[in-house]
Amino acid sequence: MDTTIKHIAFLVGAGASRDADILTSAEMLSALDSELNSNQTSDSLFDVFRFVKGAIVFAQCCQSNPINTSINIEDIMRRLHLLSNRQYDDLYPFIGSWHEKISIFESKDPQCFHNLIDFIEDRLMSWLDVEGKDLKVAYLTGFGSLASALGAKVRIFSLNYDLSIEKAFENNNKFTLCVGFDDENRWNRDSYEDPDSDIILYKLHGSLDWSKQGGHVIRTETIPDKPFLIFGIDNKLQSIDPYLYLTYQFREWSLRSQILISLGYSFSDPHINRILFQALQADESKRLLIIDKNCVNIQSKLSRVCFEEMEFELPDNKVIYFERGTKDLFENDLLLPKLRAILGEIENDMPF
């Protein structure tokens, strides 16, 4: 087993950090609703928020999507960025009149969409804060235990901005974590080639401790006022490093890995989904192990996502569902036996 699994790749979403009391995107939206509603100084922002949220629901209904389709904080941010910069959109010269509400909001506050973006970005720091949570994030060192048991490097492709994984390994001398920065705290692709790293972390959408300074991406000791993130900006940043490099690495290792492991990921990112599904299509023997506390919802969503985004039906034998939380998974050593069983099934399915 140790020599058979040479490459193991995790795709990690917000659900993996939930056991450390870090909010998911949907929970951030709920927190934002409560904070805006209770903040008497932000009545106008609350009106803007309700308008944008309602418009997203209306658009989903127009597209014949289920009315209960979940909305998260990034959906709100994406629309806010589009509205605040709509004059740069190619369609702008062709639209004679935008929704009357937009004019009303901007007559009261010309910067209302920008101000709501700033309000959300300020709250993001507290929603994702891991300070004082050393014990709560400790279960994430299970990535290191898995690397040791397999005798292989574990590659984690995370869509999260929080520092839960870094915090878990901060005071752990048993395993080494590579985050892509050199000794001067500059992002450097060459650092990913460190042969001594047990766990290699690729933060596909950036991190709270990343800052853009003088053309370089720097890892800071304290969280900067404006972290360098892909947060509701679609794919604009994904064409430049480090995001371009990180996305390429995700594609590369999703193709190389025998078993792809989705951990707490909601399949809400079309760009990531395409890379994942293409890897599954490219190799008949490849399997996707989905680990989540609510696999029923994931399963129903996955079939729709595959058909709508990739126009193909994912074969049942490609996907294995494992209804577990991340903390339960690592603290009770449930993953390694599951991987052994899946690898055995792959070998039995291979033609002689």
The residue ranking higher by pLDDT, 173 or 248, is: 248
Identify the band that residue 1 occupies on the pLDDT scale cut at 50, 70 and 90: very low
What integer pLDDT is reported at residue 3 of this predicted model? 38
Tell me the whole-structure pTM to 2 decimals: 0.90
What integer pLDDT is reported at residue 184 of this predicted model? 92
Alpha helices per DSSP H over 257-316? 270-282, 295-305
What integer pLDDT is reported at residue 208 of this predicted model? 94
Q: Which of 104, 140, 119, 179 is nearest to 17 (CA)?
A: 140
Q: What span, in angstroms and rounded, lies between the C-alpha atoms of 351 and 27? A: 46
Q: What are phi and psi of 10, to 5 degrees?
A: -105, 140
Residue 352 pLDDT greater than 60, yes or no:
no
- pLDDT (tens digit, 9 = 90+) per residue, 186-227? 999 999 987 788 899 999 999 999 999 888 999 998 888 888
What integer pLDDT is reported at residue 2 of this predicted model? 38
- pLDDT (tens digit, 9 = 90+) per residue, 17-42? 999 999 988 899 999 999 898 876 66
Q: Are 289 and 260 in contact (CB under 8 A)?
A: yes
What integer pLDDT is reported at residue 11 of this predicted model? 97
**Domain map (residue ranges) of the chain:** 8-22+134-349, 25-127
What percentage of the chain carries pLDDT values higher than 90?
A: 48
Fold of 8-22+134-349: Rossmann fold (3.40.50)
Alpha helices per DSSP H over the chain? 25-38, 43-62, 73-84, 100-108, 112-127, 142-150, 164-170, 243-256, 270-282, 295-305, 326-331, 335-349
Q: Which amino acid is at 140?
A: L
- pLDDT (tens digit, 9 = 90+) per residue, 273-327? 989 988 988 888 889 999 999 888 888 888 777 777 777 777 778 899 999 999 9
Q: Which amino acid is at 297?
A: N
The residue ranking higher by pLDDT, 128 or 235, is: 128
The residue ranking higher by pLDDT, 135 or 351, is: 135
Can you read off the two tokens belonging to residue 341? 């069983």
- pLDDT (tens digit, 9 = 90+) per residue, 250-274? 999 999 998 999 999 988 888 899 8
